[in-house]
Amino acid sequence: MNTSPQDGVEGATVTAVSVGADGTTRALEGEATTDASGEFTITLEGERVSDVIRLNADGDNDFSSSVIVQVDGQNQVDAQPMTAETAAEANVYVEAKGEDEASSHDEGTTAADVALYVNADAAADINAGQTSAADVAASIASTVEAESQTNANADGGASASAVAETKTSLYTELQSNLAAASSADARAQAVTEFENGMANLYVKAGGSDESQAESRQTGTSVMIEFSAEASSDAELGLRRQAELLRAEATARAEEALFEAQGATDATLDALVNARQQLTADIRAAGSVDAMVEAHSTYETEMKAQMGSTFGVSSEVIASAETAVQGSVDALFTALTDIGGVLNGAVETVVSAYSSFYTNAQAAAKTSFESSVDSDATAETAAEALVFVKAQSHAS
């Protein structure tokens, strides 16, 4: 197994542990020492290692780092370089697997999930002791559980095994690309490709755009509630990543609905541009208010495009919004009443969204029926409106 802990770290001792499905670790036979470039090759012997291992490097001047490596039965793996961020990810991953042991979802938290959410902001606070790996792990594990439950219940959801396999594939590709990267641009490209793949995870695994949007909306609301236990910088970083996933999924679901309704190329182009602006605004957001404003701007553009595609006026859309407002209020009341990290919070959010989609879509469809040419058009218009109303959870 080849990797580099950090450029120029010479003489560090590298060891490995196998990470079990419940977060327990078992030391593996084998040890290596980094060369002048910080690189090393470690051979692991003895019992078969698990699909995921953790490499730890310790050296002079209090140097210590680690990285999670996806092995999956391969005889040789090129692991990504160890950094401060991978060290934080490793701590979070082990904690998250412990959270999985007490949860009810099928997939479990993967290395891909942790790499997706633990960005520079969260990693810096974890390494500085300003927030705990356990709190971040609970946020991620609970978000994954909420998405998994929603995906399992949704029409057109992907199979749990396909989702898990897709995550493994994306993380394996990430670690391989990072191991081969010889420049900052190459490393950034590897991360971007990974994030883009994870953003479209459920569709890549065989699910529909609509079921992916439902899963991301539920997961984001869980992340909002659970990440409140983290430091302010870590919380903002975790929420930003969740909001990006929700925004991308919701906007792509809208595009799929509009395309199915026969939208013109000009309308679809406008929606794509609105999606790209939405995600750019969220990436640049320095506050929750800025993220909420980005969603609001996108919603305005989406509703502006409904007229020509669905044959409805702004007054009809406003009437449908009024019809679903009771369901929106009930959803946000249920989410607000969670009040932080409490037992049963994930189930509460999943149930609240399930009720919201059922009730809001029925109300919106009834409102549209007298103004469109068919029952199918009313149903699709209702879905389009309800999706965009569901993404505005700001508490």
Cα(28)–Cα(9) distance, integer angstroms: 23
The string of pLDDT tens digits covering residues 257-316 is: 999 999 999 999 999 999 999 999 999 999 999 999 999 999 999 999 999 999 999 999
What's the mean pLDDT when you consider all of the chain? Answer: 90
Residue at which a domain ends, from 80, 115, 141: 80
Residue at which a domain ends, from 63, 80, 97: 80
The domain tally of the chain equals: 3
Instruction: Looking at the structure, tell me whether residues 173 and 200 fall in a common domain.
Output: yes
Instruction: Looking at the structure, tell me whether residues 150 and 189 fall in a common domain.
Output: yes
Question: What per-residue confidence (pLDDT) applies to 340?
Answer: 47
Domain that holds residue 370: 315-337+351-395
Question: What per-residue confidence (pLDDT) applies to 72?
Answer: 81
Instruction: Looking at the structure, tell me whether residues 73 and 99 fall in a common domain.
Output: no
Q: How would you label 326-348 residue by residue, b for 16+ Cβ within 10 Å and e otherwise? A: ebbeebbebbeebeeeeeebbeb
Q: Are strands 64-70 and 52-58 parallel, antiparallel or unpaired?
A: antiparallel
- Residue 346: inside a domain, yes or no? no
- Residue 299: inside a domain, yes or no? no
Question: What per-residue confidence (pLDDT) applies to 395?
Answer: 43
Cα–Cα distances in Å, from 376 out to 83, 382, 383? 53, 10, 11
Question: What per-residue confidence (pLDDT) applies to 42?
Answer: 85
Instruction: Judge contact between 93 and 141, C-beta under 8 A.
Output: no
Using DSSP, state whether 91 is helix, strand or coil. helix
Instruction: Looking at the structure, tell me whether residues 62 and 96 fall in a common domain.
Output: no
Instruction: Looking at the structure, tell me whether residues 88 and 73 fall in a common domain.
Output: no
The string of pLDDT tens digits covering residues 190-212 is: 999 999 999 999 999 999 999 99
- Averages of pLDDT over runs of 10 residues in the chain (395 residues) are 57 89 87 83 72 89 88 83 93 89 67 95 93 94 94 94 96 95 94 96 97 96 90 93 96 97 97 98 95 96 95 96 95 77 77 95 96 94 95 58
Residue at which a domain ends, from 14, 47, 80: 80
